Amino acid sequence: MQVRDGSLQVLLWERAQEPDVHRWALPGGMLRLDEDIEHSIRRQLKEKVDVRQLAHVEQLAVFSAPDRVPGPRLVASAFLGLVPSDNDPEVPPDTRWHPVDDLPTTAFDHESIVRRAQHRLRSKLSYTNIGFALAPPAFTMSELREIYSAALGYSVSSTNLQRVLSRRGLLEPTGETTKPGRAGGRPAALFHFTVRGMQVTDEFAVLRPPAAKTR
């Protein structure tokens, strides 16, 4: 998954053969005898859709419904993989990024897998530093706010986001600023995550959407 063009998106490839020909599927394949599952995931992303810049990978769930695919029974171990927003992987012609909130018709149970991944990411944005895997190495608070808003599905405040992440020791200024634009104005401060590796920071925290205003 990656935040692109203001939305959380997932990489899917169009199946060229039955079953579910021309439907969109998550990249995946069989586990080799000489590799573990995470190595297999990274290998297949490189081979099938040329994605090499994963900032974070974690096991999502096992999908084992007897009828999840036609024919011989297949059990799938799904993973959540995150690509920073400043990376733009070159993908094959049969592969595209799709907004998670506007998915095409998917193969098998892959929409359920995408929804599970979306829910996992939104949950972890509340109580971990997983935002580092969606953000570039250095960013303005406005840019980070856009990333969090896209991933969470609702608008967040730059000020509140900076206060929460700084209080947890996850965010600090780089000491640098952006270059002034053509219209001038004050350059924005650049920040970075203090740790670029997943950590639980507040297991009881929950980022909630703003309450609806009552009339």
* pLDDT over 80 at 123, yes or no: yes
211 in any annotated domain: no
Answer yes or no: are the C-beta atoms of 127 and 33 closer than 8 Å: no
31 in any annotated domain: yes
200 in any annotated domain: no
CA atoms within 13 A on the CB side of 207: 26
Mean pLDDT of the residues in the chain: 90
Tell me the C-alpha distance between 121 and 198, whole Å: 12
pTM of the predicted structure, to 2 decimals: 0.88
Tell me the C-alpha distance between 77 and 48, whole Å: 18
pLDDT, position 115: 97
Residues 6+ apart with CB under 8 A from 207: 125, 126, 148, 152, 156
176 in any annotated domain: no
- Structural domain for 116, as ranges: 2-126
Q: What is the mean pLDDT of residues 11-32?
A: 93
**Number of domains into which the chain is organized:** 1
* 124 residue type, one letter: K
17 in any annotated domain: yes
* pLDDT over 80 at 156, yes or no: yes
Give the CA distances from residue 173 to residues 78, 147, 182, in Å, rounded to whole numbers and listed in that order.
Answer: 36, 18, 24
36 in any annotated domain: yes
Q: What is the CATH number of the domain that holds 71?
A: 3.90.79.10
* pLDDT over 70 at 159, yes or no: yes
* pLDDT over 60 at 215, yes or no: no
53 in any annotated domain: yes
28 in any annotated domain: yes
Answer yes or no: are the C-beta atoms of 96 and 12 closer than 8 Å: yes
